[in-house]
Structure 1
Amino acid sequence: MTTRALILGCAGKTLSAEENAFFRDVAPWGFILFKRNIGTPDEVRALTQALRDTVGRADAPILIDQEGGRVQRMGPPHWPAYPAGGRIGRLDGSAVAMAELGARLMAHDLASVGINVDCAPVLDVPVAGAHDVIGDRAYGTTPERVAEIGRAVARGLMQGGVLPVMKHIPGHGRAGCDSHKGLPVVEADFATLTAQDFAPFRALADLPLAMSAHVVFTALDPDHPATQSAIVIERVVRGFIGFDGLLMTDDLSMHALQGSFRARTEAAFAAGIDVGLHCNGDLTEMRGVVEGAPGLAGPALRRAQEALARLAVAAPAFDVSEARARFEAALSLAA
């Protein structure tokens, strides 16, 4: 069975017979979960196992967006509520340590239910006047601070056996609209972009996975968002930033992208994307995405294999209760 270069979502807390058959036939590389898929811990464990069973791969990546704050798919009553990245970044003196510790705790939560990839850290650097879709998700307002905290988050996740995905490469912090709803167009010059927007990604270019930005950078390619721009992917992502890990799209169902689902998927792969991501679990849309997606092969297959190989590193011993108490104490003290 040829693995398809896709990460797909499902509709609910269990797989329907139609979804089961679809995933067995399509054989996506991985899956992504959202709040609609999250029940009790036992239900999530059963779902992650069922998804892996459809493709016959015990290490098939299962992703989730678990940043903390506004973007947290697993939360109370079964899991703790984690603070937004911006709150962590403002901790005096302890931000780096607490970012790593919080991410390590999140990794424990995720790994315990079979999730092995977290779509974090957010490496976007917000600027005044930009849309608040990033807002308090950002770890700071300078590239240096964002990179420093982002590195700690990635380190904490990997220590807990969860792969990080840096997003949204090469930068969403300057966008004037939410790419879920429209296409952001950034008109900053190349020197400004390299000094600020692209810098945190360059500092963390050794990470295994990255998610693209549905953002047009007019200084590079005025006609295509980064996800579908060979210029941006070759010159910036692979070139200036130096990222040679697995590059996935942001959600192909977002309104920043135009055209049929087959067409928008084909455009992303033609530009140099490794893996397509479709999140909402709509089977009709996914069938179009599948039509536009290749099998996982060549450099994309190598990058996927290298990413999963980093899961094999044994995690150090970890006292969850002690760590959670220490994390909560630091947040209480700061408050």
Structure 2
Amino acid sequence: MMKKIFFIILLSIVLIFQTSCIKQNQQTQHENEIDQTDNTVEQQPPEPSYEEKIISSMAMDEKIGQLVIIGFAEDTPKETLINAIKKDKVGGFILFRRNYSNFKSLYDLVSQLKELNKNNSLPLFIAVDEEGGTVSRIPKEGITMPDAKIFGTINDLALTEKSGSIIGKQLYSAGINMNFAPVLDILSRDDNTLLKRRSYGKDVDRVSAHGISFIKGLTEEGIIPVPKHFPGHGHTKVDSHVGLPVINIDRSIMAQRELVPFRNAIDKGMDAIMVGHLAYPQIDPSGKPATRSKVFLTDILRKELGFKGIAISDEIEMIGFANGEDSIEDAVIESFNAGIDVFVIGHTAEIQERVLKALKDGVSTGLITEERINESLIRIVQIKRKYNLSDEMNVDFETACELFTNEEYRSFVEDIKRR
């Protein structure tokens, strides 16, 4: 009897042990299946970003078109503009007073450009140089702000911000969305006639503070500010329109003076910066202008200062860009690979055609990679999206006229002149 009881107990223990093992094996198998499922999910590629979706739908010619902002002569036929938009698919236009005679003709011109672009993947940048004072594109019916020098002398940041806001309102009313301003150069030489009135002055902190105030005024009105001329055009008497300024200062001086306003603007989230044709041989011994220098465009602007927006060249028809030594084609390839995202070509159709061809040939010959092009495209798409750019006019013409001509603007300027 005892043997029988012992056998039954032993059998029960074995059965319990086997059942436990089976359950444990099933649990382990289930956990492995979950792990495999999790691993499968983790290994799936991430959903493409908005920018990546747009870029993947674009042909190479369309991508390359986005890398230029062009200007045109006053007698340019409409067919030429159609070709630039529908064939070359340019990223934007820079307008000058030669392109319009009054506010109505400016409004109509911008309307026309936007209408022609409506079937393209991305809206246009419509840009001007509107610093106020000696560099102004405001039509004759409008109010031109005084020079930056005056605001720097008064030294009231609220006034400078309001000047940017008034300029922003006028540009917005005309459908313009980008302004190549303000000047962030430190006027460290009295013989710098190019910037004598365009700079906020000699004091680093004052230039920085007023530049940021002007930028704030523009952005509040939906305008993309493009401060200039990185890394600093102040310590030279040479005009980069007619030659290559060579600035012989060391890295320490540049960091404490020239770069301060740009660094502060970048820290505030600056979306675009204009790079000047300026050589600093003690910093980049190659003697190349900053627009063609990896030292300035990649090492300093991107890595050291942390700039994530679009780097826009100053007008590349200026002598300082190719400096009479290199072809415009070679200079553009070098500049793009060094880090420029967008080229401004404001005047000559032949130069515009050569630049677009150079970029296309650069891709086909392997001098430019598609990866590098997409890098610039991501920045361009992000900014066009951030500012909600559109190929529709911002407001109807009647509302635009009210925004553009306002007695408040005139009173503001008269008050500044009395100070």
TM-based fold match above 0.5: yes
Find the residue that maps to 1:52 and give its secondary structure: helix
Aligned equivalent of 1:264 = 331
Q: Which moved more, 1:179-188 or 1:260-269?
A: 260-269
Paired amino acid for 2:208: A
CA contact (8 A) 1:252 1:277 kept: yes
Aligned equivalent of 1:61 = 125
Aligned equivalent of 2:340 = 273
Aligned equivalent of 1:218 = 281
Paired amino acid for 1:49: S
The 5 A counterparts of 1:19-30 are 19-30=81-92
- Aligned-residue offset at 1:195: 0.3
Paired amino acid for 1:41: F
How many residues align? The count is: 327
Instruction: Provide the rounded CA distance (Å) in 1 between the counterparts of 2:68 and 2:92.
Output: 7
Instruction: Provide the rounded CA distance (Å) in 2 between the counterparts of 1:9 and 1:156.
Output: 26
- Aligned-residue offset at 1:130: 4.6
Aligned equivalent of 2:317 = 253
Aligned equivalent of 1:196 = 257
1:229-283, CA deviations, whole angstroms, 9 ceiling, x for partnerless residues?
A: 0111112111232211100111110011223332222121021111111011x21
Instruction: Provide the rounded CA distance (Å) in 1 between the counterparts of 2:88 and 2:253.
Output: 42
- Aligned-residue offset at 1:13: 6.8
Instruction: Provide the rounded CA distance (Å) in 2 between the counterparts of 1:262 and 1:50.
Output: 31
CA contact (8 A) 1:179 1:214 kept: yes
- Aligned-residue offset at 1:16: 3.1
1:299-321, CA deviations, whole angstroms, 9 ceiling, x for partnerless residues?
A: 212211222233249x9xx9984
Q: Which moved more, 1:176-185 or 1:1-10?
A: 1-10
- Aligned-residue offset at 1:141: 1.1
Give 1:232's match in structure 2, choosing from 290, 296, 302. Answer: 296
- Aligned-residue offset at 1:23: 3.1
Aligned equivalent of 1:172 = 233
The 5 A counterparts of 1:17-56 are 17-56=79-118
Instruction: Provide the rounded CA distance (Å) in 1 between the counterparts of 2:358 and 2:232.
Output: 26
- After superposition, the CA RMSD in angstroms is 2.3
Aligned equivalent of 1:305 = 381
Find the residue that maps to 2:189 and give its secondary structure: coil
Paired amino acid for 2:340: I
Q: State whether structure 2 residue 210 is matched by structure 1 residue 149.
A: yes
Distance 1:79 1:293, change over 3 A: farther
- Aligned-residue offset at 1:39: 1.9
Return the TM-score normalized by structure 1: 0.90
CA contact (8 A) 1:130 1:177 kept: no
Paired amino acid for 1:262: E
Aligned equivalent of 2:48 = none
Instruction: Provide the rounded CA distance (Å) in 2 between the counterparts of 1:277 and 1:159.
Output: 25
Return the TM-score normalized by structure 2: 0.73
Aligned equivalent of 2:159 = 98
Aligned equivalent of 1:285 = 351
Find the residue that maps to 1:62 and give its secondary structure: strand
1:105-125, CA deviations, whole angstroms, 9 ceiling, x for partnerless residues?
A: 111111111111111111111
- Structure of higher CA gyration radius: 2
Paired amino acid for 1:328: V
Instruction: Provide the rounded CA distance (Å) in 2 between the counterparts of 1:84 and 1:60.
Output: 29
Give 2:142's match in structure 1, choosing from 79, 84, 91. Answer: 79
Distance 1:321 1:47, change over 3 A: closer
Paired amino acid for 1:290: L
Paired amino acid for 2:251: F
Q: Counting helix residues as a fraction of each chain, which structure ranks higher? A: 2
- Aligned-residue offset at 1:286: 0.9
Give 2:170's match in structure 1, choosing from 109, 113, 118. Answer: 109
Structure 1 gap segments, 5+ residues each: none
Structure 2 gap segments, 5+ residues each: 1-58, 361-369, 395-401
- Aligned-residue offset at 1:46: 1.8
Find the residue that maps to 1:251 and give its secondary structure: coil
State the identity %. 27
Instruction: Provide the rounded CA distance (Å) in 2 between the counterparts of 1:33 and 1:80.
Output: 18
Aligned equivalent of 2:306 = 242
